[in-house]
Amino acid sequence: MTRPTILVVEDEASIQRVVRTYLESAGYQVISSENGAEALALAQAHRPDLIILDLNLPGMDGMEVAARLRERSDVYILMLTARAEEADRVAGLKIGADDYLTKPFSPRELVARVEAILRRQRRAAPPDNVRRFRHLTIDPDRYETTTPNGPLELTPTEFKVLWELALHAGRVLTREQLLDRVWGIDFYGNERVVDVYVGQVRRKLEEATGEPLIETVRGVGYKLVDQPA
């Protein structure tokens, strides 16, 4: 069985060395880069399963690298940042990162987060399980969402959020339920990530259909309110 490949983008040699050592000990193939331009080239050439991306890179910073990656790839991104401000973390998640870890961090926690993210790939949806609504058709096998106006571009995590809401259309899912079902019970972050991703999915749905298809139930959670086809 092929070992997953991790691209580590970190300009501090000591941190890069520690991360590589722990990941390789956990059984991963590791390639590394110290700057954004090289990281984009390596991502294109090697198609890694996950990218560990430092935000404070020289030249092209991690935010720009993540944005360029998302223009052409749905690869999982785990951000490393020395920035403690919530606004920076939220900005990274909005660009398309799947998780974040603030420096200084435990290398063991980093490996645990990598394992948790990659486990999401193995949770395949059942076959022949397309969900059809008045404004949406959602195909979990192809990771495709279409509207009357054409395909809807979603990141893997955004798709999983929408899929869980579609499976329970008309019913409220709490933040805790969405965290467990999309990110897994071993997710180390906080509930704020749910609000960020639901907000992104809701915005894309409304732009594509002109309808507010995700409803917020204050103090409880979210529900998809589109009608079955």
pLDDT at res. 185: 63
For the stretch 52-88, pLDDT in tens is: 999 889 889 888 999 888 877 878 999 888 766 667 7
Residue 22 and residue 108: Cα distance in Å, rounded? 7
From residue 151, alpha-carbon distances to 15, 74, 87, 135, 139 in Å are: 41, 16, 30, 11, 11
Burial track 32-69 (b if 16+ CB lie within 10 A, e otherwise): bbbebeebbebbeeeebbbbbbbbebeeeebbebbebb
| pLDDT confidence of residue 126 | 46
Check residue 186 and give its pLDDT. Answer: 64
Q: Which of 206, 197, 156 has the alpha carbon at shortest distance from 178?
A: 197
- Tokens in use for 26? 């956990």
Residues of the chain with pLDDT below 70 are 1, 83-86, 121-128, 185-189
Pick the CATH number of 131-224 from 3.40.47.10, 3.40.50.720, 1.10.10.10, 3.40.640.10: 1.10.10.10
Domain with CATH 1.10.10.10 in the chain: 131-224
Give 133's strand partners. 228
Q: Is the pTM of this model over 0.95?
A: no
CATH for 5-122 is: 3.40.50.2300
Please report, as a single letter, which amino acid is at residue 170: G
Query: What does the pLDDT read at residue 122?
Result: 46
Cα angle, residue 146 at apex, residues 140 and 152 outer, rounded to 5°: 95
CATH 3.40.50.2300 intervals, the chain:
5-122
